[in-house]
A and B are shown apart, each in its own frame.
Chain A
Amino acid sequence: MSAYAATDDHDHNYINWEKGFWSWWMSIDHKRIGLMYLGTMLMFFAIGGFFALLVRIELFTPGETIMGAADYNTAFTLHGVVMIFLFIVPGIPATLGNFLLPLMIGAKDVAFPRLNRLSYWLYVLSGGVAVLAIVFRLDTGWTFYAPYSVQNSTAVVAATTAAFLGGFASILTGVNFLVTIHNMRAPGMHWGRLPLFVWTLYATAILQVVATPVIGITLLLLILENVFGLGVFDPDLGGDPVLFEHMFWFYSHPVVYIMILPAMGIVSEIIPVFSRKPIFGYRAIVYASVGIAAISFLVWGHHMFVAGMANLTRYIFSFLTFFVAVPTAVKVFNWISTLYKGSVTWDSPMLYALSFVFLFLIAGCTGIHLATLSTDAHYHDTYFVVAHFHYTIQGGAVIGLLGGLHFWFSKMFGRMYNEKLAKVGWLFLFIGFNGAFLPMFILGMEGMPRRYFDYPVEFTTLHQMATIGAFVNGLGYLFVFGNLGYAVFRGKKAGTNPYESLSLEWQTPSPPAHDNWETIPIVTDWTYGYGKPEDDESHAGH
């Protein structure tokens, strides 16, 4: 193990290698860029969460509670725009992906370190421009639907410019990861040995590269439309607003998998370690990951079932949407089979991984209601969609990210958080999250439309449950990030490999040295050889 340490001096690592703001800002080290991405993203997560709580307070009583209808429109729009474009789209790949990918495949860095830094800079710039959208009070909803969004609005131009820049950052990450995975693997790390997290990053990178340019051109058209009166989406000038929806969702459906696939990868890494069993059906998970990426391009029409579409087209989109369930279910069965007869331990990363499976299952099953044409006619644009979406993104992507953060925390910082507090935080999160969003399924079934400022008195109890749930959820985040934040500076020193993972990234010191490896690691076995006889350890440990 120590053969791979870049230096015998274990106090010398990527964090203390150089000091000062500029050494971070100008750094091309994938580990530092990953951390900077994480810090900036979490800041936007807090801002997005703040807007979410504003929305929930406003909905505590029917009619006006703390703000007028116009302010409410701004609050839910900014919640969506900040959370989507500044938090969860860069999401796991830009943070844990950046940090771990080179370590997991035995490389010194990503293929294009300076492009990686440019990606982060573009992301920060995009965040700066997005602040303008907050100042100008964007109120279109995060989907920017035309024709409301093409009426010469400064806020729309600011928000779409921000999203465009963020898209550029996302493409750079995607190109970088694809080339890194193709060209930078250490000897012996062939495709059949790649950790599943790397495989999901690969599938994600394909999505980033293929889908993002389409939203790029769509947003560019929207900007030009606002500035020059282009008329491509404006019915007054002969344009078609539904074309905007098609182009928007051609990206924005696959982007859900940009968010969720890496979370699935994290779960696939955590479950074998805490079950002490090899992952069940490695190949099936690989094919399912790439399969989900491929199918995700063919289902965007399900967002427009009630927006005017030929019946045949609707049947096809509906059928293809059902089809997404197949590879997803394959993964769930593989995770469950991995747990079967394993010696399961309940550390906090595992709690997150298992809650991912549970919550994502609810998300997937309610997706079936929305993919079915007849039921979607009823559920469309109701709270049912809001609940389904949050089970996917918060219950899936965010919980996955948190699982990963807890799992690799000691890898990143060389310290360990308080495990008991981590569990308490998880409990708050889990209860709060379900408390906030389970009532929304019922609200949606009873016909409460999304994005409405007001509601009939009968819905008050369910709305109040959701609001209380949202606050418990928020409290959970404070707990979790308070615990992790404290541990960054004051946590107990952790061993190099506290969970005895066999994966390559754990074979370096924690935190890793600036250059990751002094000599090229040579990989002789796959990542998941748990539960082998002890004398076999020399193989398992690469």
Chain B
Amino acid sequence: MGHDESLPPGHFSYFEPEQAYHSSKLGMWIFLATEVHLFGGLFAAFAIYRWRYLEQFNEFAQTLNWKLGALNTVFLLSSSYWMVRAVDAAQKGLNKKVIKYCNITLLFGCGFFVVKFFEYKAKLTHVPPIVPSTHVFYGLYYTMTGLHAVHVLVGVVAIWWVRGLAKKNRYSPVYYTPVEVVGLYWHLVDVVWIYLYPVLYLLAGVSLGVATAH
């Protein structure tokens, strides 16, 4: 499915282009597994502290703006849809459409940052300001959403690069690896958010029967 033409001549690691395509996909899947473990550590810490400080966690969770969070969920899910369309277009070699769908995906991605900006701003301008050291809950809130935002940023840059290749008409039914691999990454960013959102914003008041123990 198309070898990488930017490798210097005389040093191809692949005997077959097909190998390169499958390797890229497998590599991305393994990398996504490492991402799950990266966020997994944070989710584990969150679960432990929520158990320990259930009342505070419930109280503080209510200070998060679930409506803005919901808006961002819509943004990310929509962007994922348009990413799928971009992959589909690339597989058919329709470079113009790839550009168009990437643009829409990028628009939603940037919208995510706008929402995030107002969300953080409201926290930091609150009186007294809500900062990471206010409580373990906020420490984890800022870390989890912040790390996720960094991943969105990386995704936006990667989609921009994928779009650039489409501008050079690089995709064809036999070569579309970058779109597909970046698409996989973008979906993971989406999936992480799908877990982050309910855990941080919506669990307020859900006691899971632990409250009686405290």
Query: Which A residues lie at the B interface, using CB under 8 A?
Result: 28-29, 102, 107-115, 171, 174-176, 178-179, 182-184, 209-214, 216-218, 220-221, 224, 228-232, 237-240, 243, 247, 514-515, 520
A238 touches B53 (CB 8 A): yes
A217 touches B41 (CB 8 A): yes
The verdict on B113 contacting chain A, using a C-beta distance below 8 Å, is no
B13 touches A111 (CB 8 A): yes
Apart from A183-B23, A228-B139, list 11 A-B contacts with CB within 8 A. Answer: A108-B12, A113-B13, A174-B30, A178-B26, A182-B23, A210-B33, A217-B38, A217-B41, A217-B42, A232-B136, A240-B52
Known: A108-B12, A113-B11, A228-B131. A175 touches B45 (CB 8 A): no
Chain A nearest CB from B117 CB (Å) reads 18
**Stretch in contact with the other chain, from B14-22, B169-177, B189-197:** B14-22
In the complex, what residues of B have CB within 8 A of residue A184's CB? 13-14, 19, 23
Known: A179-B30, A183-B23. A231 touches B12 (CB 8 A): no
A514 touches B136 (CB 8 A): no
In the complex, what residues of B have CB within 8 A of residue A179's CB? 23, 26-27, 30
CA distance A102 to B30 in the complex (A): 20
- Top 7 A-B pairs, shortest CB-CB distance: A109-B13, A229-B133, A217-B41, A213-B37, A230-B139, A213-B38, A111-B23
CA distance A82 to B89 in the complex (A): 49
In the complex, what residues of A have CB within 8 A of residue B210's CB? none
The verdict on B147 contacting chain A, using a C-beta distance below 8 Å, is yes
A210 touches B37 (CB 8 A): yes
In the complex, what residues of B have CB within 8 A of residue A216's CB? 38
CA distance A320 to B130 in the complex (A): 44
Q: Contact partner of A232 among B15, B33, B45, CB < 8 A?
A: B45
In the complex, what residues of B have CB within 8 A of residue A174's CB? 30
In the complex, what residues of B have CB within 8 A of residue A232's CB? 45, 49, 136, 139-140, 143
User: Which residues 25-43 of B have a CB within 8 angstroms of A?
Assistant: 26-27, 30-31, 33-35, 37-42
Q: Contact partner of B136 among A115, A182, A210, A237, CB < 8 A?
A: A237
CA distance A175 to B31 in the complex (A): 7
B45 touches A221 (CB 8 A): yes
| Closest chain A residue, CB of each to CB of B20 | A111
In the complex, what residues of A have CB within 8 A of residue B48's CB? 240, 243
Q: Contact partner of B10 among A111, A114, A515, CB < 8 A?
A: A515
The verdict on B198 contacting chain A, using a C-beta distance below 8 Å, is no
Chain B nearest CB from A177 CB (Å) reads 10
In the complex, what residues of A have CB within 8 A of residue B27's CB? 111-112, 115, 175-176, 179
Chain A nearest CB from B55 CB (Å) reads 12
Q: Contact partner of A212 among B34, B45, B143, CB < 8 A?
A: B34
In the complex, what residues of A have CB within 8 A of residue B40's CB? 213-214, 217
In the complex, what residues of B have CB within 8 A of residue A247's CB? 41, 44-45
B41 touches A228 (CB 8 A): no
CA distance A184 to B42 in the complex (A): 35
Known: A108-B15, A112-B23, A515-B10. A209 touches B143 (CB 8 A): no
Chain A nearest CB from B20 CB (Å) reads 8
Of the candidates B30, B40, B42, the one having the most CB atoms from chain A within 10 angstroms of its own CB is B30
Q: Contact partner of A213 among B7, B26, B41, CB < 8 A?
A: B41
The verdict on B8 contacting chain A, using a C-beta distance below 8 Å, is yes
Known: A178-B30, A216-B38, A217-B41. A230 touches B11 (CB 8 A): no
CA distance A183 to B16 in the complex (A): 11
Of the candidates B7, B13, B131, the one having the most CB atoms from chain A within 10 angstroms of its own CB is B13
| Closest chain B residue, CB of each to CB of A520 | B15
In the complex, what residues of A have CB within 8 A of residue B19's CB? 183-184
CA distance A243 to B147 in the complex (A): 20
Q: Contact partner of B30 among A28, A175, A224, A237, CB < 8 A?
A: A175
In the complex, what residues of A have CB within 8 A of residue B142's CB? 228, 230
Q: Contact partner of B45 among A102, A113, A243, CB < 8 A?
A: A243
A107 touches B13 (CB 8 A): yes
The verdict on B132 contacting chain A, using a C-beta distance below 8 Å, is yes
CA distance A240 to B139 in the complex (A): 13
Chain B nearest CB from A95 CB (Å) reads 19
B135 touches A238 (CB 8 A): yes
CA distance A183 to B40 in the complex (A): 28
Chain B nearest CB from A108 CB (Å) reads 5
B23 touches A228 (CB 8 A): no
CA distance A450 to B45 in the complex (A): 30
Chain A nearest CB from B29 CB (Å) reads 9
| Closest chain B residue, CB of each to CB of A108 | B13
CA distance A269 to B87 in the complex (A): 45
Chain B nearest CB from A74 CB (Å) reads 28
Chain A nearest CB from B189 CB (Å) reads 15
A selection of 14 A-B contacts at a CB cut-off of 8 Å is A108-B12, A174-B30, A175-B31, A184-B14, A217-B38, A217-B40, A228-B132, A228-B133, A228-B142, A230-B136, A230-B142, A232-B136, A232-B140, A240-B48
A113 touches B34 (CB 8 A): no
| Closest chain B residue, CB of each to CB of A17 | B10
A213 touches B34 (CB 8 A): yes
In the complex, what residues of B have CB within 8 A of residue A221's CB? 41-42, 45, 143
In the complex, what residues of B have CB within 8 A of residue A231's CB? 132-133, 135-136, 139
B41 touches A239 (CB 8 A): no
B41 touches A214 (CB 8 A): yes
CA distance A115 to B8 in the complex (A): 14
B26 touches A237 (CB 8 A): no
Q: Contact partner of B133 among A114, A214, A237, CB < 8 A?
A: A237
In the complex, what residues of B have CB within 8 A of residue A107's CB? 13
B136 touches A239 (CB 8 A): yes
CA distance A113 to B13 in the complex (A): 7
Known: A228-B131, A247-B41. A238 touches B136 (CB 8 A): yes
In the complex, what residues of B have CB within 8 A of residue A111's CB? 13, 23, 27
Contact with A along B117-144 (1 / 0, CB 8 A): 0000000000000011101100110110
Chain B nearest CB from A399 CB (Å) reads 30
Chain A nearest CB from B188 CB (Å) reads 13
B14 touches A108 (CB 8 A): yes
In the complex, what residues of A have CB within 8 A of residue B136's CB? 230-232, 237-239
CA distance A94 to B123 in the complex (A): 45
In the complex, what residues of B have CB within 8 A of residue A178's CB? 26, 30
In the complex, what residues of B have CB within 8 A of residue A515's CB? 10-11
CA distance A220 to B27 in the complex (A): 24
In the complex, what residues of A have CB within 8 A of residue B11's CB? 28-29, 108-109, 113, 514-515
| Closest chain B residue, CB of each to CB of A110 | B13
In the complex, what residues of A have CB within 8 A of residue B26's CB? 178-179, 182-183
A220 touches B34 (CB 8 A): no
Chain A nearest CB from B34 CB (Å) reads 4
Contact with A along B81-101 (1 / 0, CB 8 A): 000000000000000000000
